[in-house]
């Protein structure tokens, strides 16, 4: 009587139509022709079928193709049980309109015995080909004990091969350091004051006195350029009056300015004498005649006017009342407010430049790598971190399934009905769950007392999907195709989509799945991968995992 596990497998296929024998024959003929065709394109040889322990043999793969097809040769330790110690560059030979590509590998083995180099997977364009398996004998090295033996060599420390993350950190810190230095140098650094800035910081009285000295050094009088001389002279006194007495002195006419000074005197706001005001009036009117009526006073008179202005600057300073404590405080607050404005300006300028550089960097990287990749790199993405992290290659179950995964698969205890516990023996390893972005599961099931019955892998996978349906999955869409591992193990690949329940809610979430199924005697081996739909990183993880699956046949 068949066990419950086989009953579940059988129920899924009761209504299936019988296979069409004619179609099967045609398919077999097609496969035979395909194998002959692939044999003519891909050849593999070794330079020796018998070596000593640790001796190297050279494994050749020769591919004949045209120049338009991309050829992908095996990479990594795909020659197990032999170990690849070197992968040579591809040699290319032209043969009429074809190209012969020759790829060489250096292989070795450190245990004696007879070994089989497994079939190697070659991808030509969009097609997959496999080389023939080859036999190699590894012989013991005969040791002549009569000549003496050497001591065992001491253990040598091997430098651990690390990644280059520190280089990227160093480059990032260097770039940030350069940017910080530039911002400091051009924005925050206290730059040396120019001559004009130093003069601008002087009090109005000192500034006026310094301007008179510079007027004395100018060549106006030597060149008899009285117009420019009087323009500079009157500007000095007007500027001083504008800052200390009347804040419209620069744009006022001579009459307006004199009238304002008389009003301020009468109001006791400026203690200027009538003689001081008359002296200023005379000089300002003389300057107006020089500038607008082309009058030409004597050079000596111009010098006297200069000395008079110098004296009147002193008189104006003496006539001004001393600033009160309140005025001094207001002046101090004004200076502090100006400093705060300068600081705020520097802060906004720094923030603006930083934001611009950040946006420019993100834009440039987005153009090169794509915005989603840049966004996921900055914000973080679980699947991306798994894809770019350090992967683990290990064997799970017995017979062992070799597989590379982003994380180590941990042993889990499957919950089986009591009636099945006595009939099947299951080992299971996994990472993640249905609520995670990615779930990987490797299961090996050994069926006891199978008798003459044979395991139908299609029924086995159908039973697995039935379990997901019972767990709440809906709209399960399936497709199937033959699957061959890099070392030549053949199985069935079932893939598609399903609406999986979201934990703690009544919602469903679209997920993609792939199930690989293999059978050997009374053993079912399965590799199951589930991931969220439209997750580009999970799709790349899926492809990498599938390309790493290898099986070792169970021993009888």
DSSP state of 219: S
Give kind and range of the element (H or E) at residue 540: helix 536-548
Is residue 238's pLDDT more than 50?
Answer: yes
Q: What is the pLDDT of residues 454-511, one digit of tens each?
A: 778 888 888 778 878 887 888 888 898 999 888 888 889 999 988 887 766 778 888 8
Is residue 28's pLDDT more than 60?
Answer: no
Compute the half-sphere exposure of residue 456: CA atoms within 13 Å on the CB side of its CA. Answer: 14
Which pLDDT belongs to residue 358?
A: 82
Is residue 279's pLDDT more than 80?
Answer: yes
Which pLDDT belongs to residue 8?
A: 38
Classify residue 343 as exposed, middle or buried by CB count within 10 Å of its CB (0-12, 13-18, 19+).
exposed
Which pLDDT belongs to residue 31?
A: 36
Using alpha carbons, select from 278, 288, 342 the residue that is nearest to residue 312: 278
Cα separation of 139 and 133, whole Å? 20
Contact 105, 122 (CB under 8 A): no
Assign residue 214 a region: left if phi > 0, alpha if psi is -120 to 50, beta otherwise?
alpha
Which pLDDT belongs to residue 161?
A: 47
Which pLDDT belongs to residue 366?
A: 73
Cα separation of 73 and 69, whole Å? 13
Per cent of the chain over pLDDT 70 is 81
3-class SS letters over 259-322: HHHHHHHHCCCCCCCHHHHHHHHHHHHHHHHHHHCCCCCCHHHHHHHHHHHHHHHHHHHHHCCC
Contact 296, 288 (CB under 8 A): no
Who wins on pLDDT, 427 or 4? 427
Who wins on pLDDT, 15 or 301? 301
Cα separation of 512 and 195, whole Å? 74
Of 240-249, 301-310, 353-362, the one with minimum mean pLDDT is: 353-362
Give kind and range of the element (H or E) at residue 137: strand 134-139
Cα separation of 22 and 34, whole Å? 18
Q: What is the pLDDT of residues 156-179, one digit of tens each?
A: 554 544 556 677 778 888 888 898
Is residue 147's pLDDT more than 70?
Answer: no
- Read off the pLDDT of each residue in 501-529 and give the average, rounded to a whole number: 84
Using alpha carbons, select from 107, 81, 106, 102 the residue that is nearest to residue 92: 102
Contact 482, 469 (CB under 8 A): no
Which pLDDT belongs to residue 39?
A: 39
β-pair partners for 493 = 481, 516
């Amino acid at each position: 009587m068949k066990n419950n596990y086989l009953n579940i497998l059988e129920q899924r296929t009761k209504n299936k139509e019988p296979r069409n024998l004619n179609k099967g024959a045609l398919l077999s003929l097609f496969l035979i022709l395909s194998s002959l065709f692939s044999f003519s394109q891909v050849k593999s040889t070794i330079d020796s079928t018998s070596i000593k322990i640790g001796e190297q043999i050279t494994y050749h793969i020769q591919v004949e193709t045209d120049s338009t097809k991309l050829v992908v040769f095996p990479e990594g330790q795909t020659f197990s049980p032999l170990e690849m110690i070197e992968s040579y560059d591809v040699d290319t030979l032209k043969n009429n309109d074809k190209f012969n590509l020759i790829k060489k590998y250096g292989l070795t083995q450190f245990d004696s015995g007879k070994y089989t180099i497994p079939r190697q997977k070659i991808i030509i364009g969009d097609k997959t080909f496999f080389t023939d398996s080859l036999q190699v004998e590894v012989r013991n090295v005969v040791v002549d004990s009569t000549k003496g033996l050497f001591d065992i060599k001491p253990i040598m420390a091997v430098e651990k091969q690390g990644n280059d993350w520190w280089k990227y950190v160093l480059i990032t810190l260097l770039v940030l350091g350069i940017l910080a230095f530039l911002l400091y140098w051009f924005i925050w650094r206290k730059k040396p004051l120019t001559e004009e800035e130093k003069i601008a910081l002087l009090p109005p009285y000192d500034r006026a006195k310094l301007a008179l000295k510079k007027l004395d050094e100018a060549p106006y009088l030597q060149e008899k350029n009285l117009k420019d001389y009087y323009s500079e002279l009157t500007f000095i006194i007007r500027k001083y009056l504008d800052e200390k007495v009347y804040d419209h002195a620069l744009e006022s006419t001579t009459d307006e300015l004199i009238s304002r000074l008389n009003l301020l005197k009468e109001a006791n706001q400026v203690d200027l004498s009538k003689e001081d005001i008359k002296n200023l009036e005379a000089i300002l009117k003389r300057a107006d005649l020089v500038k607008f009526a082309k009058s030409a006073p004597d050079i000596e008179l111009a010098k006297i006017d200069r000395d008079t202005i110098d004296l009147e600057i002193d008189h104006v300073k003496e006539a001004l009342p001393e600033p009160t404590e309140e005025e001094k405080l207001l002046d101090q607050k004004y200076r502090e407010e100006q400093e705060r404005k300068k600081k705020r300006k520097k802060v906004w300028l720094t923030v603006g430049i930083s934001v611009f550089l950040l946006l420019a960097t993100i834009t440039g990287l987005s153009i090169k790598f794509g915005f989603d990749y840049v966004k996921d790199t900055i914000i973080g993405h679980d699947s991306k971190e798994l894809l770019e992290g350090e992967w683990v290659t290990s064997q799970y179950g017995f017979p062992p399934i070799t597989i590379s995964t982003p994380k180590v698969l941990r042993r889990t205890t499957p919950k089986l009905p009591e009636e099945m516990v006595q009939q099947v023996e299951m080992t299971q390893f996994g990472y993640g769950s249905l609520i995670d972005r990615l779930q990987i599961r490797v299961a090996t099931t050994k069926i006891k007392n199978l008798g003459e019955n044979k395991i139908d892998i299609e029924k086995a996978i159908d039973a697995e999907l039935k379990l997901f349906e019972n767990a709440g999955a809906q709209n399960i869409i399936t497709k199937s195709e033959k699957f061959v591992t890099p070392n030549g193990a053949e199985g069935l690949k079932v893939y598609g989509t399903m609406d999986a329940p979201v934990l703690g809610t009544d919602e469903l979430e679209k997920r993609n799945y792939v199930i690989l199924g293999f059978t050997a005697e009374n053993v079912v081996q399965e590799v199951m991968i589930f991931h969220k739909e439209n997750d580009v990183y999970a799709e790349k993880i899926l492809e990498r995992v599938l390309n790493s699956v290898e099986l070792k046949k169970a021993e009888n």
